[in-house]
Amino acid sequence: MSEAAEHVPPAGTTSVRRSRDVPLLVERARAGDPRAVARLITLVENGDALLPAIAAALAPYAGQAQVVGLTGSPGVGKSTTTNELVRALRAQGHRVGVLAVDPSSPFTGGAILGDRVRMQDHATDPGVYIRSMSSRGHLGGLAAATPQAVRVLEGAGCDVVLVETVGVGQAEVEVASLADTTLVLLAPGMGDAIQAVKAGILEIADVFVINKADRDGVDATVRDIQGMIALGERGPGQWRPQVVRSVAARGEGIDDIAAAIDKHRGWLVEHGELRRRQEARAAAEIEAIALGTLRARIGSLRDGTELATLATKVAEGALDPYTAADELLAQLAR
């Protein structure tokens, strides 16, 4: 199901590439047509007017895929690890979707979208769909359209969706709200014990992957992470993050990563945490859509006189900004 998987266009390909027939696109995506999947994700990314119809058509398939997030600093081997995880998951018979988010330029808005280059091993596998997405300036390590793109891949019948974030820093933790299981990749020599106990990205890990474990200092890195885990307060039955070593470039430790993901999945199901995470993800999605609609409505007020009038009163000191904001919300409600 890779975008490069089909060399002979199936019947109706031309219409699918430009189609705005949502039921047709969803039907073709369910049948494994990579062009239909690509078309749906493109519509989602562009915030097309068809987005509500697409979401409604995909709603029956929500929550059917296991969503695994991979994050970490640039250069730790996220794409290589993702590539090897795809191989392991395909060996287990799973259909796999990959969303690889690349940074966009703050100056031109462009993006290289190069993560797929590292995953060419699966380009001809019809059971794999790989899509690179530009962050388009969205902070948090993901693109704004990533949650809806995950829904598209769920609707397309993917058993597992791997979401690889932009190479992130300490505070980009949005992937944890999207994934059922979050992998944080580290490499030896990227920090000391103090770095390991700082708040942020290290706190969101369900599984720590110490990649490039053939380097010097791997034992110290593992020891620092295990020490950080020991500092956390956990009640009986709560999940304790796993620490796994790997050398993804040689395919070493990938089975251990897959086993840790399966173990976490089992814990999620057993403790009802999977449903809680899915509901929290849905709540965040609803909130984001509602806030986006409100921002659009507020933006439309700039074309009128209401916002300008309130701004003038605040600037003159005749009105405080909180009261002005209340009046603006009242106008939006009307």
pLDDT score at 212: 93
Average pLDDT, the chain: 83
Residue 196 has pLDDT above 80, yes or no: no
Tens digits of residue pLDDT in 81-116: 999 999 999 999 999 999 988 766 555 555 555 555
Residue 150 has pLDDT above 90, yes or no: yes
88 burial level (CB within 10 Å; 0-12, 13-18, 19+)? middle
Tens digits of residue pLDDT in 207-248: 999 999 999 999 999 998 988 888 877 778 899 999 999 999
pLDDT score at 57: 94
pLDDT interval class at 9 (50, 70, 90): very low
Q: How many CB atoms lie within 10 A of CB 333?
A: 6
Tens digits of residue pLDDT in 284-323: 888 888 888 888 777 777 666 788 889 999 999 999 999 9
More confident residue, 165 or 91: 91
Give 208's strand partners. Answer: 184, 243
pLDDT score at 172: 59
Mean pLDDT of 260-273: 96
Q: How far apart are CA 254 and CA 19, in angstroms?
A: 39
Residue 268 has pLDDT above 70, yes or no: yes
CB of 161 closer than 8 Å to CB of 85: no
pLDDT score at 7: 35
Residue 278 has pLDDT above 80, yes or no: yes
pLDDT score at 237: 85
pLDDT score at 198: 56
Q: What's the CATH superfamily of 63-270?
A: P-loop containing nucleotide triphosphate hydrolases (3.40.50.300)
Q: Would you call 182 helix, strand, or coil by DSSP?
A: strand
More confident residue, 139 or 80: 80
pLDDT score at 322: 94
Sign of the alpha-carbon torsion through 63, 64, 66, 69: negative
pLDDT score at 180: 94
CB of 83 closer than 8 Å to CB of 98: no
pLDDT score at 176: 81
- The domain ranges of the chain are 63-270, 283-333
Q: How far apart are CA 213 and CA 252, in angstroms?
A: 9
Tens digits of residue pLDDT in 20-74: 899 999 999 999 899 999 999 999 988 889 999 999 999 999 888 999 999 888 8
